[in-house]
Structure 1
Amino acid sequence: MFKLIVNADDFGLHSMVNDGIIKGHTKGIITSTSLLASGSAFDEAVSMAQQYPKLGIGVHIALVGGIPPVSDPSEVPSLVTKDGVFVDNYIEFMKRIYSGHINYSEVSKEIEAQIQKIVDTGLRITHIDGHQHMHILPTILPIVIEKSLAHHIKAMRVPNEKINFLNGVHNPVRILGKTGLSAVASQAMPIARRNGIRFNQYFWGMINGGQLTETALIGILKKVSNYGGVHEIMTHPGSNNLELNHTYNWNYHWEEELSGLISDHVRRYITQHDIELVNYGDLL
């Protein structure tokens, strides 16, 4: 049994991201997406999601990424910069954690606000995950689980990509970051299980984050077809590299990811290897 969730992150971030995700769902293999409550194109994403009921909808908890919180910045000062937005990346956020600068009551307030905003749309929520995977940090995870259960969200991404899986990537910084986050994620699995939270057994796409070309995707699918169970592939499609990389300094290959996700070659591989495309809601 090979069950595969293909999840597109950052739904609601930008109109060009929304467009890429919907194209990847209607023309390709995307089965699931994660909605960013404070994204600038949130309302558009909600309207789109209402038209595609087979698209799983997750809560994409954000505590990083240079985007604004849902709460008023003055109410969550330990989480934002002087400009009233989250720090850019997980390294900066972890520095705040380890220096004692994070107020966890503010974390709880902001996570609740993000979940509630998405719940209020009336969309069926299938799971919860996190921008740059901050939801599985040891001090953040208990808050995420508490809030998830309070809102009857019973599935969560665990980004436990196999540490020795490099899939053509040789950047030491990326490898180090993936290794650390995967190790932390593996520790989250028994905690989620004890709390009755369903999660993926295998996770792919971290090492190729933002660079998930057709070739990289086929490399992952070869692993999927070797391990029975529930897999998630994380993706970041979009429809305009120039505009998106002008807005965000992440150097993602948004259009190339979309091209791989709608590739006939990729779909044939999935069909030929009896891989069943599902979303987190199908696990419950």
Structure 2
Amino acid sequence: MARPRVLLVVTADDFGYCLRRDEGIVEAFLAGTVTSVSLLVNGTAAERAAELARKYSIPTGLHANLSEGRPVGPARHSASSLLNREGFFLGKMGFREAVAAGDVALSQVREELEAQLSRFQELLGRPPTHVDGHQHVHVLPGVCQVFAEALQAYRVRFTRLPLERGVGGCAWLEAPARAFACTVERDAQAAVGPFSRHGLRWTDVFVGLSTCGRHMSASRVLGSLARALEDIPAGHALTAELMAHPGYPSVPPTGGCGEGPDAFSCSWERLHELQVLTAPTLRARLAQNGVQLCAIDDLDSKRPADIVPCEATLESCLESSPS
């Protein structure tokens, strides 16, 4: 049966967060599953991560951070709407609440984004292949407009649009995770306009909100792709991104972005993702279904190869994925 042809980018977020995280990310890249990474330039291991990216020729983008740790721009020297009294960003939910209340100066958002883009250039000696947002801050109302303007000015074309089909119906997600995923999707949908007007591009399909941490498995990744492909005509070629967070657990106080590693980074869930990504099962099932792995900056030049018929399909993987 003819199936959509898929080019899949597997992006490991939080590169530069800590040495143990980076060790796992490089391991997943060398295993051939992770194809791109997103660098936190305010991460405590950012300089070492940049060295690893150069050593292993890892396609690297910027993981723009407005919510965790210390800033790299002018805000670190003065009072800023982006920071609390201790000089740290406001946190995953704190930043969202401040944006919703209109308490965040978008001019300061622009300054910090530009500072992080410049810092990336200093570390890697080249522009980022893509820019996405740590904890999806880049799709928040107002922030997405500033984000799009900054990327256009720096001639960065690729970003992430975290719209994952059916994530609200994923029964295995705990209620808070499901609610957060639905909020991210709503914000991402509203960001389409600003992103499009400024010439940004993203993959046709996004997966990762439903497969984060303990929830990742080969079947769930394939199932999420299958849901995304339900309305794609047979034989049509499309692009997809899997967001991932592999790595060895952080050991406090080492790691983080200036205030130590968070609980998720210290948990076994990062290691679980690493194990799923480096095991042969996922790569074999992707290949079996005609899914080709590539980096995001390859999307202009690569074309999916002809699909070879096989017994398994992405649709069957959806039917058999755990709930």
One-letter code of the match for 2:52?
A: M
Match of 1:229 among 235, 238, 249: 238
One-letter code of the match for 1:277?
A: L
One-letter code of the match for 2:176?
A: V
Matched, 1:276 2:280: no
C-alpha displacement at 1:210, in angstroms? 2.9
Matched, 1:240 2:249: yes
Count of residues in Structure 1 that have an aligned counterpart in Structure 2:
281
Matched, 1:257 2:261: no
Corresponding residue number in structure 2 for 1:219: 223
Deviations 1:253-282 (A, max 9, x none): 011100000111111111111111112211
Corresponding residue number in structure 2 for 1:83: 86
C-alpha displacement at 1:195, in angstroms? 2.1
Structure-1 separation of matches of 2:102 and 2:195: 25
Q: Residue 8 of structure 1 aligns to a residue in which SS?
A: strand
Q: Residue 61 of structure 2 aligns to a residue in which SS?
A: strand
One-letter code of the match for 1:247?
A: P
Match of 2:120 among 97, 118, 121: 118
One-letter code of the match for 2:106?
A: Y
Structure-2 separation of matches of 1:12 and 1:175: 27
Corresponding residue number in structure 2 for 1:185: 188
Question: Which consecutive segments of 4 or more residues in structure 1 shift more than 4 A?
Answer: 164-168, 221-228, 241-246
C-alpha displacement at 1:94, in angstroms? 1.8
Matched, 1:176 2:179: yes
C-alpha displacement at 1:177, in angstroms? 1.0
C-alpha displacement at 1:241, in angstroms? 5.8
One-letter code of the match for 1:108?
A: R
Question: Identity of paired residues, percent?
Answer: 27
Match of 1:196 among 199, 220, 226: 199
Structure-2 separation of matches of 1:22 and 1:165: 32
One-letter code of the match for 1:260?
A: V
The higher radius of gyration belongs to: 2
Structure-2 separation of matches of 1:133 and 1:235: 13
Structure-2 separation of matches of 1:170 and 1:35: 27
Matched, 1:147 2:150: yes
Q: Residue 141 of structure 2 aligns to a residue in which SS?
A: coil
C-alpha displacement at 1:222, in angstroms? 4.5
Matched, 1:59 2:62: yes
Deviations 1:141-188 (A, max 9, x none): 111111111111111100011144655523111111111111221222
Contact 2:247/2:274 (8 A) holds in 1: yes
Structure-2 separation of matches of 1:34 and 1:236: 10
- For the structure 1 residues 24 and 225, does the alpha-carbon distance in structure 2 shift closer, same or farther, using more than 3 Å as the test? farther
TM-score (norm: length of structure 1): 0.91
Structure-2 separation of matches of 1:77 and 1:94: 16
- Which consecutive unaligned segments of at least 5 residues does structure 2 have? 301-323
- For the structure 1 residues 252 and 115, does the alpha-carbon distance in structure 2 shift closer, same or farther, using more than 3 Å as the test? farther
C-alpha displacement at 1:231, in angstroms? 0.8
Which structure carries more strand by proportion? 1
- Which consecutive unaligned segments of at least 5 residues does structure 1 have? none
Contact 1:76/1:106 (8 A) holds in 2: no
- For the structure 1 residues 221 and 266, does the alpha-carbon distance in structure 2 shift closer, same or farther, using more than 3 Å as the test? farther
